[in-house]
Every structure is written in structure tokens, then in C-alpha cells.
């Protein structure tokens, strides 16, 4: 039963990310998944329940990816850059209406996203700043919590469409620029050399 639930979540996520959430009815979803609505409802109470499970699953996957990137990274700078690389891949797969649909029509699922931003992303950015300071690549006078708040505010503005009324397909590109902008402002001389090295390797 659990395998079937995971299968429905995985396949449904692909459909909603590709076509949007509100525009896809449960009938549409059943056709896309080649199964009956009854089968879907055997595992999920309703569409809202399914959306919440999908959001929770995607967030969990994002956390795992972030943790793997952190463990593989040679330094704090590379770890932060890996976030933008992951986001670029992720956002190219998301339909332009997804964030709007979540905010307006699926408040409980959106609350999960908001909590992830505040609790998890904030913590990871704070940890990254501390790591960079310990490695001697970030400016010592930086306040990790304040820097995390600034980062979170910019990402929130981006997903709310407040930055350049951004096309969703360019979110990854804009987020990458935001992170590079922040990195250039927080690295010291040693960190700047490492950042430039990572940038050259990325171009290659």
C-alpha cells in the first residue's frame, strides 16, 4: 500500500508541476496516471490532502539534496552555490502558476512551504555563514541570523513575483544571481579567490 501511495505522489507531482495545480482536475489526474479516481481516493482524502503530501515529499527531497550537497562541498562557498544549481534544475520543471495556486487555493500546503522557508532554509543559511566564518572565507563581522533573514526575504520576494515580476522559468537564473550577489558581499579576500575559482570551474 505504501509503495502505491508513493507512486501516486511521485506521478501526481510531475503532472501538477508540469501543468499547474488548480487547472488539473482529479479526473484529469486519473487519466494522466492511467488509474481510476477511486484508486486515488483510496490513498488520499481529497485533492487538498494529495497536494499537501506532494509538497511535504518535495520538501523532504529538497532537504536530502541540500544535505548531500553540503557534505560533498569542499567549502561554504561551494555549498551555497550548489543551492542555486539545484534550484535552477527544479524551477525549469515548474509551471508558472504553481506558486500562485498554492498561495491562493491551497493555504495548508502553502503553510508547509512557509514553515520550510522559516525553519529549515533560515537555519541552513545561518549554518553556512558560520561555516564560512570558521573556514576563514566569510567576513567575521557578519551576523549569521541577520544574513539568513536577508536571504529568506529575497527568496520570498522572488517566489511572490515581487522581483521583476519574474517569469517562473527564470527563477533559477535569478536565484543564482541573488546568491552570487550575496556571496560577493560576504566573502573576504581569501573567499573571493575561492569564489572566482569555483566560477571558472562552473564555466568549464
Asked whether residue 40 carries a pLDDT value surpassing 90, the answer given is yes
The Cα 33–Cα 37 span in angstroms is: 10
| pLDDT for position 165 | 53
| pLDDT for position 201 | 83
Residues 148-197 pLDDT 10s:
999 888 877 777 665 545 555 566 677 778 888 999 999 999 999 999 99
Q: Is 164 left (phi over 0), alpha (psi -120 to 50) or beta?
A: left
| pLDDT for position 188 | 98
Q: Is 35 left (phi over 0), alpha (psi -120 to 50) or beta?
A: beta
Domain boundaries 56-203, corresponding CATH code? 1.10.357.10
Residues 87-134 pLDDT 10s:
666 666 677 788 889 989 999 999 998 888 888 888 989 999 999 999
| pLDDT for position 118 | 84
94, 168 Cβ separation under 8 angstroms? yes
Amino acid at each position: 500500500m505504501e509503495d502505491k501511495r508513493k507512486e501516486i505522489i511521485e506521478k501526481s507531482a510531475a503532472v501538477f508541476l508540469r501543468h499547474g495545480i488548480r487547472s488539473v482536475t482529479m479526473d484529469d489526474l486519473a487519466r494522466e496516471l492511467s488509474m481510476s479516481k477511486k484508486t486515488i481516493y483510496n490513498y488520499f482524502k481529497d485533492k487538498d490532502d494529495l497536494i499537501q503530501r506532494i509538497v511535504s515529499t518535495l520538501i523532504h527531497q529538497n532537504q536530502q539534496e541540500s544535505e548531500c550537497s553540503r557534505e560533498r562541498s569542499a567549502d561554504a562557498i561551494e555549498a551555497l552555490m550548489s543551492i542555486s544549481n539545484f534550484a535552477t534544475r527544479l524551477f525549469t520543471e515548474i509551471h508558472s502558476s504553481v506558486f500562485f495556486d498554492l498561495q491562493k487555493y491551497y493555504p495548508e500546503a502553502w503553510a508547509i512551504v512557509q514553515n520550510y522557508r522559516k525553519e529549515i532554509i533560515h537555519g541552513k543559511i545561518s549554518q553556512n555563514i558560520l561555516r564560512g566564518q570558521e573556514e576563514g572565507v566569510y567576513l567575521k563581522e557578519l551576523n549569521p541570523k541577520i544574513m539568513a533573514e536577508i536571504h529568506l526575504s529575497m527568496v520570498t520576494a522572488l517566489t511572490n513575483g515581487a522581483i521583476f515580476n519574474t517569469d517562473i522559468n527564470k527563477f533559477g537564473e535569478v536565484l543564482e544571481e541573488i546568491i552570487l550577489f550575496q556571496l560577493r558581499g560576504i566573502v573576504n579576500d581569501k573567499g573571493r579567490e575561492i569564489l572566482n575559482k569555483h566560477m571558472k570551474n562552473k564555466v568549464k
